[in-house]
């Protein structure tokens, strides 16, 4: 079976949905960010602060190339993975791309108090979220499917993703 790849901005539910979806479909769950941290031996926030975003994006692309070779996985990706065409091409080769979305206000509520999100360590995180969402919108639009998680529970999102990727059950 093809991989189910969850794309989308931070705080849209990729990790929580991915884990439940994998259990429900009896597939293995992979988190691309976790794999990068494991291989680098340091947290992503530290990669950003010590080496910059470009270095992180290079590590991310290498990991995407690797995990795109797998089959029958549910994968959660980092929010910026869509910024490089080669990432999208690699993920699409053996995956169904589902973009999870949410309103900026919901994203802020879900991510507040978390200190492992370097792009939101700013004075006005809501403005940053809106700016990044606007910039990334055309990239996220390249997914096979899109699902707004703003007013849904994790279980509801899981059920909706299953309907999208496997309409005949």
CATH number for 3-163 (one of 3.40.50.11810, 3.40.50.300, 1.10.10.10, 3.30.565.10): it is 3.40.50.300
pLDDT tier at 169, thresholds 50, 70, 90:
very low
What pLDDT sits at residue 112?
Answer: 81
pLDDT digits (tens, 9 = 90+) for 1-30: 899 999 999 999 999 999 999 999 999 999
Average pLDDT, rounded, for the chain: 92
Task: Residue 10: name the closest of 71, 84, 82 by CA.
Answer: 82
pLDDT digits (tens, 9 = 90+) for 78-127: 888 999 999 999 999 999 999 999 999 999 998 887 666 656 666 788 99
Instruction: Kindly list the distances between the CA atom of residue 77 and the CA atoms of 51, 64, 123, 147, 168, in Å, as whole numbers in the listed order.
Output: 20, 9, 26, 15, 26
Domain range annotation of the chain: 3-163
């Amino acid at each position: 079976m093809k991989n189910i790849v969850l794309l989308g901005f931070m705080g849209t539910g990729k990790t929580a949905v991915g884990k439940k979806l994998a259990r429900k479909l009896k597939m293995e769950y992979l988190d691309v960010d976790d794999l990068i941290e494991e291989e680098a031996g340091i947290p992503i926030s530290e990669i950003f602060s010590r080496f910059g975003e470009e270095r992180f994006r290079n590590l991310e692309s290498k990991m995407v190339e690797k995990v795109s070779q797998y089959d029958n996985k549910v994968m959660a990706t980092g929010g910026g993975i869509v910024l490089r065409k080669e990432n999208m091409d690699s993920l699409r080769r053996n995956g169904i791309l589902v973009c999870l979305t949410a309103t900026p206000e919901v994203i802020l509520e879900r991510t507040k108090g978390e200190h492992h999100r370097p792009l939101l360590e700013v004075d006005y995180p809501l403005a940053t979220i809106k700016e990044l969402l606007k910039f990334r919108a055309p990239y996220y639009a390249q997914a096979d499917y899109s699902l707004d998680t703003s007013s849904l529970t994790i279980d509801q999102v899981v059920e909706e993703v299953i309907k999208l990727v496997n309409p005949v059950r």
